[in-house]
A and B are shown apart, each in its own frame.
Chain A
Amino acid sequence: MAKTAVEKIIGAHAGQDVAAGDVVTARVDRVLLHDVTGPIALDQFEAMGARRLADPDAVVLVNDHIAPAKDVVSATNLARMRDFATAHGARLFDAGAGIEHTLLPEQGLVAPGGLVIGTDSHTCTAGAFGALGVGLGSSDIAAAMALGSFWLPVPATIRVDFRGVPGRFVAGKDLILAVLGRIGCDGSLDRALEFTGEGIGALGMEARMALCNMAVEASATTCFVPPDAATRAWAEAKGVAAHYVWSDADAVWDSEIAIDLAAVGPLCARPFSPGNVASVERVVREVGPLAIQQVYIGNCSNGTLTDLRQAASVLRGRRVAPGVTAIAVPATRAIYRAALAEGVIDTLLEAGAIIGPPTCGACAGLHMGVLAAGQRAVATINRNFRGRMGAADAEIYLANAYVAAACAVAGRLAHPAEVMGEEGPG
């Protein structure tokens, strides 16, 4: 019987033929924990009476959320993660190495056809690599650490066909914002998203990560990009053991939607929902000047070299407006070094931006970029929920790195063309 790629990958990990709606137990290739939800998983692992990891090689602990520590509590959590990794022979990436979802592929710890679970909802980022990522809570992760497997209902898949190619100032972020604008925050609840079409072929792996990262904002269980030449080139460069999987031509879809990229310009999600999507141009025209106090370029969806280059292309020779705190955070140490080597970091610094160490910090109002009451930010992050970056009434507009950088220069919500004119990407 014809299968979706999601059914095939889950089936391969369950050791049986599966179809959407089946409830199965699947083994996992990788289990990811971070320092905010990880320590609870470690508590639960011990409470379960587990003495050892079912598969130590699969378990990866990443100190990224409040790292380096901002206080005694976070320092204690980081130490707990370190000690557990040492005691159980699991892999640890300590403070400064990077943000887990960007770090995992960078380190070759996700492979096409693989199944990754993690104590973080954005584990779905792995879909960019022809793999599946499923976010879970701490107890479920503790159980998977002890048992080597987890249970899940096999989701039906919504196929999203991106027609045409992304236009000027349009990035991976805009593709997923276009999906969210179409289907809303529960549009793929208990289902998977498969992203296909000409528009996907035009995206690099980093833009695909931005796209897949926010599948969970539409409540998707997981998501998937079919492997292509770019996926193969990535897998070969990383030397990962790839098992390429595609949906069958006659697979049964939950539903199909088409998005015409010719009609998609830079988008933003307005407060307080990632599904509250409008074009930047329209918001600027209809709402008028919306002053901003902070710009944040970073996080697990948009802290890659691609994003930093986009920001630098806007900020080169320009200045961050007075009254705006512009923060850029390379998502990993390797990205930081690459951005340094090619002058991107210097361009950002010269424009007046702050460069932070690789950490999740500002994205969730944890440290290094918290918003006060009444403040407004433009951020390349994945969530603009009430209180996400600090004060409950602080407003966050989600957008790509071109838009965020343009807003930093303008001191208000702005379309990159307002700042760049005819300059910049064609």
Chain B
Amino acid sequence: MILRGAAHRYGDDIDTDVIIPAASLAFGDTAMFARLCMTPLDPAFPDRVRRGDIIVAGRNFGCGSSREQAPMALQAAGIAAVVAVSVARIFHRNAINRGLPVLICPEAVAAIGMGETIAVDPAAETVTVGNRVCNAAPMPPAMRAILDAGGLVPFVRAELARRERLGQSGPQRSEGRA
């Protein structure tokens, strides 16, 4: 599926406290997450963002805390994908685990202007800016498998069902190998 949306352009080291302030985390309320998403840095974001829009960021997007509420907040606000120069490790895993595609594509980031409509193809791993098609870095196979399964919950459900059929349980060193 090709995702088309307006780019919300940000710089380097956008941290998870900016993406979703800690004081809201305990509530687990996605409507609240959507209202607060990005507001410490960009108070107008919740009003400006439209469903299907795309975050475009510089280096180390999502650095800081492990809060999975960060990709949850972006999704609740309507964000369909993240395109960045680089992404912090835990945020990257959390986004994929929640089914939010992340494309590492410095070439596209350099070409995208604020508000510009771009097209992201998570399957082909491309970002299209105007007529220019940019190839993103290949997604690690382990992440591809999780994203293709629809997130980590369905992925693990399938793995647990498989183990049950095989009569296995407990730690499996060789299972789920990427």
Q: Which residues of A contact B (CB under 8 A)?
A: 14-15, 23-25, 27, 35-37, 39-40, 44, 47-50, 54-55, 65-66, 73-74, 77, 118-121, 123, 135-140, 142-143, 146-149, 151, 153, 185-186, 189-190, 216-217, 219, 221, 273, 275, 364-366, 370, 383, 385-388, 390, 392
Query: In the complex, what residue of chain B is closest to A123 when comparing beta carbons?
Result: B66
CB atoms of A186 and B152 under 8 A apart: no
Cβ-defined partner of A139 (8 Å) among B40, B88, B152: B152
CB atoms of A186 and B59 under 8 A apart: yes
- Knowing A121-B64, A365-B21 are in contact, say whether A44-B152 is a contact too (CB < 8 A): yes
B8 contacts A by Cβ under 8 Å: no
CB atoms of B63 and A185 under 8 A apart: yes
| B residues in contact with A37, CB < 8 Å | 25, 66-69
Within the complex, the shortest CB–CB distance from A50 to chain B, in Å, comes to 6
Q: Which of B47-55, B115-123, B126-134, B153-161 contacts A (4 or more CB under 8 A)?
A: B153-161
Question: Counting chain B CB atoms within 10 Å of each CB, which of A35, A118, A140, A365 scores highest?
Answer: A140
CB atoms of A136 and B90 under 8 A apart: yes
Q: Which residues of B contact A (CB under 8 A)?
A: 12-13, 15, 17-18, 21-23, 25-28, 39-41, 43, 59-60, 63-69, 86, 88-90, 93-94, 97-98, 140-142, 151-153, 155-157, 159-161, 169-178
CB atoms of A40 and B68 under 8 A apart: yes
CB atoms of B94 and A386 under 8 A apart: no
CB atoms of B94 and A137 under 8 A apart: yes
Within the complex, the shortest CB–CB distance from B167 to chain A, in Å, comes to 15
CB atoms of A383 and B97 under 8 A apart: no
CB atoms of B173 and A147 under 8 A apart: no
CB atoms of B67 and A137 under 8 A apart: yes
How far apart sit A73 and B86, CA to CA, in the bound complex (Å)? 35
CB atoms of B171 and A55 under 8 A apart: yes
Cβ-defined partner of A189 (8 Å) among B43, B89, B160: B89
How far apart sit A119 and B67, CA to CA, in the bound complex (Å)? 8
How far apart sit A44 and B23, CA to CA, in the bound complex (Å)? 22
- 18 further interface pairs, Cβ-Cβ under 8 Å (given A15-B173, A149-B175, A366-B26): A39-B28, A49-B161, A50-B160, A55-B170, A65-B26, A74-B26, A77-B26, A118-B66, A139-B94, A142-B156, A148-B172, A151-B178, A185-B63, A190-B89, A364-B65, A385-B64, A386-B40, A387-B18
| B residues in contact with A44, CB < 8 Å | 152-153
CB atoms of B97 and A137 under 8 A apart: yes
Question: Counting chain B CB atoms within 10 Å of each CB, which of A216, A365, A390 scores highest?
Answer: A216
CB atoms of A140 and B173 under 8 A apart: no
